[in-house]
Amino acid sequence: MRLVNKLELSGNLIACRLNPDGLGVSEFYLGEFVESSSFLVGNKGRWRRSVWDLGGVRREWKDGVVESLTVHGDSLHYSLSSGRGSLRGEVKPSQSGAELTEVEGGFAISSEGWTLALVTGGKLKVGGNSYEVSYDDGIEVAVAGGDSKALERARSLLGSGKDLESARREELSRSLQRVWNGHPLWDYCWYVILSNRVSVRHPVLRAPFTVPSKYTFRHQWLWDSSFHAVVLSLYDPDLAAQELENLLTSQRPDGRIPHEIFLSRAKCRDFWGVDDYSPPTTQPPVLAVAVERVLSEKWDDRFAKLALEALVSYDRWLERSRDEDGDSLYSYVHPLESGWDDSVRWDEVKRGEGMEPVEAVDLNSLVYKQRRVISWIARKLGEEELARRFEEKASATGRMVRTLMWDGERGLFYDLLPGHVKSRVKTPAAFMPLFAGLADVEQAEALVSHIFDPKEFWTHFPLPTVSADDPKYDPRGYWRGRSWVNLVWFTYKGLRYYGFREEASVLARRLVDTMGTTCRENYDSSTGEPMGAVDFGWSTLVLDVMRDEGMGQQAGRALKLASQ
């Protein structure tokens, strides 16, 4: 696969972007430990052509200078074929107190047990956290991240850029050849989900996992990884089960599964003010959906038991901690816990950083679904009594959603604000009862007409995070009007579940056509312009849609076309 003008490259923890405005590498990250927005930048200027492939990026300039950049594992190699000048840079360790130390031909910087070493054949001047590399006839720079041996590794990389490039090409080709079929979006999304994987020595993140985007979101999130596992289950159910491992092992004694697990403890402290790797919140309970998918692709008693125990205790935690009025409807208590950070849904109830509890339609649809999944697994494991108990719990929540959250006149589901007052904000969360399978047939029919109404949710990129006729609709607003692939996926699955096959296909086609060959965090709902983080994990859910639609041809043993 060759892409023109794609400037991003990632390895394991190292991720970087060639400078779009001139020579060099502008962005650089070593996970959450070290970061820079001007890593090695040179003269400003306009380049002629840049080609990305599995080996790395090669960029040509008008004056014949060629840059090449490759990253593999935690090593990076950058070279400029000719010319004279200098590249300047600055790096920031996430932990205060860590400093650059100068070593022969380069420098090293350490943070939370991680070391970054940079060496070059050129002349290097270091001062504080900044540095300058001057060169007379091209330049070569090598970077390695890791333990205290990083410096030696960086030194051994000088002169072996080509080896690093072939190692990268070989590894990526090996993992991708099983699934690639020549469809550009399909192939690109497989590259994204498989290359977003990270493996790290860490007290909590002990199993390898997938970050949402190596350029923006560089640790593990609960609902992101659940979506990742859904996609990975098409590739290898064992890998998908592994994606969920850290989430299960970091479950707290009270049953809560953490919202996110930071790579850097310092980052977590800065963001949440807690001295831990995780904040005290959770995220939308999509975990059960992922577990169901993994087990449907490949039943495994050991994993089923582990997941069952975790889900039962998570469900109890939700009962104890997110249902103040004991009515079997659960609440989000923090905007970030909802995953819909700045949504118009929370405008009325925001209080400082937090918010008043909202009995949300998506949350309760997911709790209903979680209980159905628990019941399914329990029955398969011969735990009939548990299965029956969770069926009853599911019904109780389902009934409350169908009655209290439904507005018959408008034909939509709404969140319940404190005092069981229906919110008036129309969002695609209203379609979650389709996904969960809890809506009745009339409700389902009413919902479909909203999905395809151009005044509401049938925008250029469908399903804006707030209806297009809402006064606050902003097609470029983060969760205030952009479109997100996970919400399209939920709705697509819901349409199919209720037998709206043609409608589902229309939605699928629009999704695939509008994404083109991009896999971004979200999209301007009115124009389809890609926005937010690049190479974004859960946007690869489009692969599951393509698989259902028969758009991704059969490839590999796990990619059987959906049979119904």
CA distance 329 to 507: 30
- Comparing CB distances to ligand GLC, the nearer of 284 and 433 is 284
32 binds ligand GLC (CB under 6 A): no
Give the count of alpha carbons within 13 A of 511, CB side only. Answer: 32
Listing DSSP states for 402-470 in one string gives HHHSEETTTTEE--EETTTEEP----GGGGHHHHHT-S-HHHHHHHHHHHT-TTTT--SSS-BSS-TTS
Q: Least separation, in Å, of the C-beta of 86 and ligand GLC? A: 37
Listing DSSP states for 114-179 in one string gives EEEEEEESSEEEEETTEEEEEESS-EEEEEEEESTTHHHHHHHHTT-HHHHHHHHHHHHHHHHTTT
- Comparing CB distances to ligand GLC, the nearer of 223 and 376 is 223
For ligand GLC, which residue of 335, 339, 398, 433 counts as binding (CB under 6 A)?
339
- Comparing CB distances to ligand GLC, the nearer of 120 and 196 is 196
| Token output for 286 | 């999509």
- Comparing CB distances to ligand GLC, the nearer of 224 and 359 is 224
Stretch that binds ligand GLC, among 71-79, 93-101, 220-228, 272-280 (CB under 6 A): 220-228
- Comparing CB distances to ligand GLC, the nearer of 266 and 485 is 485
Q: Least separation, in Å, of the C-beta of 478 and ligand GLC? A: 7
Query: What one-letter code names the amino acid at 198?
Result: V
- Comparing CB distances to ligand GLC, the nearer of 271 and 452 is 271
Q: How far is CA 515 from the centre of its chain?
A: 16
Q: How far is CA 536 from the centre of its chain?
A: 5
Q: Least separation, in Å, of the C-beta of 283 and ligand GLC? A: 6
Q: Least separation, in Å, of the C-beta of 255 and ligand GLC? A: 21
Q: Least separation, in Å, of the C-beta of 474 and ligand GLC? A: 15
| Token output for 128 | 């504080």
- Comparing CB distances to ligand GLC, the nearer of 131 and 262 is 262
285 binds ligand GLC (CB under 6 A): no
String of contacts with ligand GLC for each residue 4-23, x by CB under 6 A: --------------------
221 binds ligand GLC (CB under 6 A): yes
Q: Percent helix, strand and coil across the chain, each rounded to 5?
A: 40, 25, 40
217 binds ligand GLC (CB under 6 A): yes
33 binds ligand GLC (CB under 6 A): no
Return the number of other C-beta atoms located less than 10 Å from residue 180's C-beta: 18
- Comparing CB distances to ligand GLC, the nearer of 56 and 284 is 284
C-alpha distances (whole Å) from 337 to each of 1, 97, 253, 259, 431 are 38, 32, 19, 7, 19
Return the number of other C-beta atoms located less than 10 Å from residue 178's C-beta: 15
Q: Check if the beta carbon of residue 119 is closer than 8 Å to that of residue 151.
A: yes
Q: Least separation, in Å, of the C-beta of 224 and ligand GLC? A: 5
209 binds ligand GLC (CB under 6 A): no
Q: Least separation, in Å, of the C-beta of 215 and ligand GLC? A: 12
Stretch that binds ligand GLC, among 86-94, 110-118, 141-149, 221-229 (CB under 6 A): 221-229
| Token output for 390 | 């969770």
- Comparing CB distances to ligand GLC, the nearer of 217 and 314 is 217
- Comparing CB distances to ligand GLC, the nearer of 259 and 493 is 259
Q: How many residues bind ligand GLC (CB under 6 A)?
A: 7
Q: Least separation, in Å, of the C-beta of 223 and ligand GLC? A: 6
Q: Least separation, in Å, of the C-beta of 114 and ligand GLC? A: 22
For ligand GLC, which residue of 31, 42, 93, 212 counts as binding (CB under 6 A)?
212
224 binds ligand GLC (CB under 6 A): yes
Stretch that binds ligand GLC, among 81-89, 105-113, 216-224, 230-238 (CB under 6 A): 216-224
Q: Check if the beta carbon of residue 63 is closer than 8 Å to that of residue 80.
A: no
Q: How far is CA 330 from the centre of its chain?
A: 25
- Comparing CB distances to ligand GLC, the nearer of 188 and 223 is 223
Q: Check if the beta carbon of residue 172 is closer than 8 Å to that of residue 519.
A: no
String of contacts with ligand GLC for each residue 288-327, x by CB under 6 A: ----------------------------------------
Query: What one-letter code names the amino acid at 221?
Result: W
CA distance 37 to 30: 12
Q: Check if the beta carbon of residue 431 is closer than 8 Å to that of residue 447.
A: yes
Euclidean distance between the first and final Cα of the chain, in Å? 32
For ligand GLC, which residue of 136, 341, 392, 445 counts as binding (CB under 6 A)?
341
Contacts 24+ apart (CB under 8 A), 203-207: 203/277, 204/246, 204/249, 204/250, 204/261, 204/277, 204/278, 205/246, 205/261, 205/263, 205/277, 206/245, 206/246, 206/249, 207/242, 207/245, 207/246, 207/249
CA distance 352 to 361: 23
String of contacts with ligand GLC for each residue 514-543, x by CB under 6 A: ------------------------------
223 binds ligand GLC (CB under 6 A): yes
Q: Check if the beta carbon of residue 333 is closer than 8 Å to that of residue 357.
A: yes
Stretch that binds ligand GLC, among 217-225, 354-362, 413-421, 449-457 (CB under 6 A): 217-225
- Comparing CB distances to ligand GLC, the nearer of 239 and 485 is 485
- Comparing CB distances to ligand GLC, the nearer of 341 and 442 is 341
Q: Which stretches of 146-264 are DSSP H helices?
A: 150-157, 161-176, 184-195, 222-235, 237-249
Residue 72, H or E segment:
strand 66-72
Q: Check if the beta carbon of residue 190 is closer than 8 Å to that of residue 543.
A: yes
Q: Least separation, in Å, of the C-beta of 362 and ligand GLC? A: 12
Stretch that binds ligand GLC, among 17-25, 188-196, 215-223, 439-447 (CB under 6 A): 215-223
- Comparing CB distances to ligand GLC, the nearer of 114 and 217 is 217
Query: Which residues bind to ligand GLC, rule: CB under 6 A?
Result: 212, 217, 221, 223-224, 339, 341
